[in-house]
Amino acid sequence: MSRTILRSILICAGVAVLLSAGPARPETFRPENSKSPKQAVPASALDPFSGTPGLFLGVAWYPEQWDESRWDQDLGLMQAAGVRMVRMAEYAWSRMEPREGRFDFDWLQRAVEMAGRHKIFVVLGTPTGAPPAWLTQKYPDVMRVDENGRRAIPGGREHYSYSSPRYRPYARRIAEEMAKRFGRHPNVIGWQVDNEYGLSMVSYDEDTRGQFQRRLKSRFDSLDSLNRHWSTNYWSQTYDDWNEIPFPLGSSANPSLKLEWYRFLSETNRDYTRNQASAIRAHADPRQFITHNFSGEDVFDYYVIAQDLTFASLDDYVGTGHLDPDRNGMQLDLARGFKRRNFWISETSPGSGCWRPVNSTPDRGEVRALAWETVGHGAESVCFWQWRSAPAGREQYHGTLVGADGRPSPFYEEVSRIGDEFARLGDFFRGTTPESRTALLQDYESDWAIQFQKHHQDFDTVAHFLSFYRPLRLLTQDIDIVHPSAPLSGYRLVVAPHLNILTGETASRLLEYVKAGGHLVLGPRSGMKDSYNALLPARQPGALLGQALGGDVVQFYALDKPVPVGGALGSGEARIWAEWLEATAPDMEAPLRYGASNGWLDGKPAVISRRVGAGRITYVGAYLDDRLMASLSSWMVERSGGKPPFGKVPPGVEVCRRIGAGKEIFVLINHTPETKTISLPRPMRDLLNNAARGLVLTLFPREVAVLKGR
């Protein structure tokens, strides 16, 4: 029996055993007998991560759900598992403000300080995702209204309207009162604003409609300008008064109106976040960070909301089935791209979920593989949701590390292993981040525009993006996912899978990148719309890039059956979508063409490419099958002069690299149920086993290796 498990059993039995004899608390921990919430913080703590682990293992802990006599045992079990951070209070509004204007933080301070005695840092969440009953009862207008005009009722969460002018002051006040109490507490290292922004927060009440109309009035010079850009002569939609502009309800709503509505939602959400963040910053020590745990819903533009955060956080759940390392890796790289810096995992499951049709459980070793994958892609923290089963409530069946009886679940041992590894290797990762010479451009506005008018029911923007990401990630072993406005000069290859909305400013920046020596690849449906979601007057991909490309799109086709595609890059099929490309310059290349199909596409180029200045621009006009995407990706990487930093690895083995501060760290994960033998590019140090490795490494099923490159 391991020492960790033995100690856990002793704690569960109620034996008063310290996990280590009188541990010396770091200087950033608050002395046990200190009562002042304004205690000075040592200079060494001004960096949010100074004196803290290089990698955090965390759990979501809800002390308000359990008798206080249980807290010390829970925290002891956490410490035994290597947990160094707890996130709490994000749903405890009714406990912190049981009556309007009457605050009780004493219990929370006891929990924060007790965590400190167990060498566990705290991240506090503002509890605005679930307003208390006294607030919703007294002010029912803070509740959101759905598309059918029905106001939400209390009893759940996220039932408020985040655009409500009445709700905002209450949300700000609870955040400010928390910051007054804990903004300089040495054991509180950061804050999470609200919880998992999603579609359920959107309200269709008249006050929100007025805000939307006022935003449109500030965006457009006049109603004439709006009517012109939106082509409101179509279906007699012309507006003579700003108050006439409706919500974009139903499938027949003007796509231009819908795009502005989605922009409004994102900007309003940013303002909602800033409302609380500014209240916290007014009272918090600079060492404390502010973040939010994004859930992945694409109704908001996370690049916009993340602007007021220290860094982004992600809730990373598998749900039904098992870990898809490519799809998960894509989400992780996207989260890193919100701020173009490392991020946190605020929630991931130590077992099954409770919201899917089938809430399957990860295989043994799968949770550890996911945890190390997140680190490989730039995570500084992995926080499991949740610590202990709630005695009642909607999520009783969700996976936990400790059951309702207080005893560890089967995943406790696996998470304890992660905690031990994070503790031993955390400093090696400090100051490092993934770095790539390949970027994929992701734009929420383009995704929305396609979703508004899919033209083919199977055109899934996430799946299409993944069809590019998967083979490119395999070849390059590291990819950045960034907004089209991000700096591009450091990339050899930039791929925009479906940049549907293309402004003149973005087109100019992309062309400058190409002329300076970069390789730009545009996917199907690129360059169709302007910033108002109106069709561009020039053929795809727009006048500027089309002229540089030496070709354009004559027509597009939603495919009811696959179309053969072949050429110098191999043979395969186009499915879902195909575009008829035509050359306008004699030096344009066509490495792939369509075979016989509908007569329109027969023999026409499916991919065209041309050298421009010191670089190259390529247009991919078809949704290609996996085999052709692999060949096309190899061609793109080869033409761009890229090569993987580690070298070739067997299928099913993922390679992640983090560099910085003179260090190069590789994380290798065998995601398969089979043993894999890997050739190393040079002798390396195996950090997990503290052993030297020659030129061969064996990875058992779902096993992880962390290697020091230099």
Quick check: 381 and 345 in contact, CB under 8 A? yes
Strand partners, 707: 666, 686
Of the candidates 305, 275, 271, the residue with the CA atom closest to the CA atom of residue 291: 305
Kindly state the tokens that stand for 133.
Answer: 């009953």
Quick check: 166 and 149 in contact, CB under 8 A? no
Q: Identify each DSSP E strand in 529-643 by its residue range.
A: 551-558, 563-567, 570-583, 589-594, 605-612, 615-620, 622-624
Collapsing DSSP states into helix, strand and coil, what is residue 467?
A: helix
Q: Look at the alpha carbons of 620, 622, 626, 628 in this order and tell me if their dihedral is positive or negative.
A: negative
Of the candidates 480, 472, 479, 483, the residue with the CA atom closest to the CA atom of residue 446: 483
Quick check: 259 and 445 in contact, CB under 8 A? yes
Kindly state the tokens that stand for 115.
Answer: 């965590």
pLDDT digits (tens, 9 = 90+) for 291-312: 999 987 788 999 999 999 999 9
How many other CB atoms are found less than 10 A from the CB of residue 531?
16
The one-letter code for the residue type at 105 is F
| CATH 3.20.20.80 location in the chain | 3-202+277-428
pLDDT value, residue 692: 93
**What whole-number distance in Å separates Cα of residue 481 and Cα of residue 368?**
24
Rounded to 10 degrees, what is the CA torsion of 276, 130, 314, 706? Answer: 110
Q: How many residues does the chain have?
A: 710
pLDDT value, residue 665: 97
| CATH 3.40.50.880 location in the chain | 438-640
| CATH 2.60.40.1180 location in the chain | 653-708
**CATH of the domain spanning 653-708:** 2.60.40.1180
pTM for the full predicted model: 0.91
33 burial type by CB count under 10 A (0-12 exposed, 13-18 middle, 19+ buried): exposed
Strand partners, 552: 582
How many other CB atoms are found less than 10 A from the CB of residue 505?
11
Burial string for 218-229 (b: 16+ CB within 10 Å, else e) reads eebeebeebbeb
In order, the DSSP letters of 142-180 are GB-B-TTSPBP-SSSSS-B-TT-TTHHHHHHHHHHHHHH
pLDDT value, residue 21: 28
Q: Which CATH superfamily is domain 3-202+277-428 in?
A: Glycosidases (3.20.20.80)
> In this structure, which CATH number among 3.40.50.2300, 3.40.50.880, 3.90.1150.10, 3.40.50.620 belongs to the domain 438-640?
3.40.50.880
pLDDT value, residue 39: 34
Low-confidence ranges of the chain (pLDDT < 70): 1-51, 319, 352-356, 359, 393-396, 710
Write out the catalytic residue numbers.
Answer: 196, 347
